[in-house]
């Protein structure tokens, strides 16, 4: 897998084109799983593993990677499958989510493939592992399950959703009470976190599970004669979602004269430096890494200050 992530610059060209690249891998047997390449830093053989007392049951231990201590999560056990047995031949995928770096123990890595988000579908209801999936797709007539890594990590280290008293005391936030926002995200964990913060601010949240549904809701309001920019204080959108990603959603919003003045915030677990550049490319108004309640309030305050 050497050099597998050497073409990141080329991948930035996918932004706004409703395309993505996924890294496919196996845990046990032939079933393929995947995560977004943009969240992957590297793929390598498991270095020396150090066990830790009182560690989470899904954490195999920690490794030292170029001076950085990283937890190693057994991804198979974390999504409800039988545990993997780490050894010197094991493979790990080093990833960055929500400003934290961790390694996932997997069975084997398959390859990277470029797809259109339209070919990525929500997991079917009732699917055995759908609790830990954000999407499914098909490659070479084989089902590929896209794992909800945010949910996996939230169960290991729960995210804080409480806004500090200092932030809540800001008198400008009174203007937010009773306002409405649209939350677009395919992760139930992310949606619940956003809802909890919005509730503390007295803001009503509408929810869409992907960009296509979010755009349909916005257009439905506009078609009914509503001035959507008056109804909504802002739109929070994830970057990667089935059917239509957040970048494409923003592009579509900017191309509709009834919607183009909406305040759009890219709210994602992807790399901050990458997204800050892409925000400008597709026309978002702001960017926020998941999940930081106080910084989310700062973004809302910036929007309120605009009038």
How sure is the predictor about 278, in pLDDT bands with cuts at 50, 70 and 90?
A: low
Amino acid 9: pLDDT: 46
CATH number at residue 278: 3.40.50.2300
Same structural domain, 36 and 128: yes
Domains identified in the chain, total number:
2
Q: Check whether residue 128 and residue 185 sit in a common domain.
A: no
Are the C-beta atoms of 135 and 212 separated by less than 8 Å?
A: no
What mean pLDDT is predicted for residues 76-89?
A: 92
Q: 227 and 97, same structural domain?
A: no
Within a domain: 87: yes
The residues, ordered by sequence, that sit 6+ positions from 170 with a Cβ below 8 Å of its Cβ are 297, 301
Give the pLDDT band of residue 37 (cuts 50, 70, 90).
confident
For residues 151 and 175, membership in a common domain is answered with: no
Residue 290 lies in a domain: yes
**pLDDT confidence of residue 172:** 94
Strands of the sheet with 180-184, listed across from one edge: 204-208, 180-184, 232-237, 264-268, 286-289
- Of 156, 180, 210, the one marking the end of a domain is 156
In a domain, 296, yes or no: yes
Q: Are residues 22 and 119 in the same domain?
A: yes
**Which of 139, 156, 173 is at the close of a domain?**
156
Least confident window among 117-131, 154-168, 245-259, 261-275 = 117-131
Q: Which of 93, 112, 106 shows the shortest CA–CA distance to 8? A: 112
Quickly tell me which residue has 């494409």 as its tokens.
248
CATH number, domain of 139, equals 2.40.50.180
Question: Which is higher by pLDDT, 307 or 209?
Answer: 209
Query: Per the domain annotation, does 1 fall within a domain?
Result: no
| Span between the terminal Cα atoms of the chain, in Å | 51
- State the average pLDDT over residues 275-291: 78
Note whether residue 2 is domain-resident.
no
Residue 197 shares a structural domain with residue 288: yes
Shared domain for 301 and 278, answered yes or no, is yes
Does residue 3 sit within a domain? no
- Those residues whose C-beta lies under 8 Å from the C-beta of residue 134, and which sit 6 or more positions away, are 122, 123, 146, 147, 148, 186, 187, 241, 242
Which two three-digit tokens encode residue 184? 């677009």
Kindly state whether residues 196 and 105 are assigned to the same domain. no
In sequence order, the β-bridge partners of residue 92 are 44, 105
Other residues' Cβ atoms within 10 Å of the Cβ of residue 84: 18
> 181 in the Ramachandran plot: left (φ > 0), alpha (ψ -120 to 50) or beta?
beta
- Looking at residue 273, its pLDDT comes to 56
Residue 275 has pLDDT above 50, yes or no: yes
Residue 96 scores a pLDDT above 60: yes
Regarding whether 220 and 254 lie in a shared domain, the answer is: yes
In this structure, the answer to whether residues 177 and 91 fall within a common structural domain is no
**149 falls within a domain:** yes
Instruction: Tell me if 172 is assigned to some domain.
Output: yes
- Can you tell me whether residue 238 is helix, strand or coil? coil
> Is residue 138 domain-shared with residue 190, that is, in the same domain?
no
Same domain, 178 and 251: yes
Range of the domain at 212: 165-305
Among residues 133, 156, 179, which one ends one of the domains? Answer: 156
Mean pLDDT over each residue of the chain, to the nearest integer? 87
Task: Convert the pLDDT of each residue in 182-193 to its tens digit.
Answer: 999 988 888 988
- Token readout for 30 is 């032939």
């Amino acid at each position: 897998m050497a050099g597998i992530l050497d073409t990141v610059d080329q991948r930035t060209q996918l932004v706004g084109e409703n395309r993505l690249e996924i890294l496919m891998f196996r845990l046990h047997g032939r079933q393929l799983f995947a995560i977004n390449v943009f969240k992957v830093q590297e793929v390598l053989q498991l270095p020396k593993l150090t066990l830790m007392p009182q560690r989470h049951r899904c954490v195999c231990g920690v490794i030292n990677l170029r001076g950085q201590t990283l937890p190693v999560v057994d991804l198979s056990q974390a999504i409800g499958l039988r545990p993997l047995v780490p050894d010197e031949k094991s493979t790990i995928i080093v990833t960055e989510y929500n400003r934290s770096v961790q390694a996932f123990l997997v069975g084997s890595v398959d390859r990277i493939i470029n797809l259109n988000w339209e070919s990525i579908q929500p997991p079917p209801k009732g699917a055995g592992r759908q609790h830990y999936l954000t999407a499914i797709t098909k490659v070479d007539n084989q089902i590929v399950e896209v794992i909800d890594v945010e949910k996996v990590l939230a169960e290991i280290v729960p995210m804080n959703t409480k806004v500090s008293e200092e932030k809540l005391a800001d008198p400008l936030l009174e203007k937010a009470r009773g306002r409405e926002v649209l939350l677009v995200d395919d992760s139930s964990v992310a949606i619940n976190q956003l809802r909890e913060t919005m509730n503390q601010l007295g803001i009503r949240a509408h929810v869409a599970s992907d960009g296509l549904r979010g755009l349909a809701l916005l257009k439905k309001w506009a078609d009914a004669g509503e001035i959507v920019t008056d109804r909504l204080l802002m739109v929070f959108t994830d970057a990667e979602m089935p059917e239509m990603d957040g970048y494409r959603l923003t592009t579509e919003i900017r191309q509709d004269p009834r919607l183009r003045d909406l305040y759009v915030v890219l709210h994602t677990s992807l790399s901050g430096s990458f997204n800050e550049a892409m925000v400008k490319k597709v026309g978002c108004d702001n960017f926020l890494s998941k999940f930081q309640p106080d910084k989310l309030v700062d973004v809302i305050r910036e929007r309120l200050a605009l009038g």
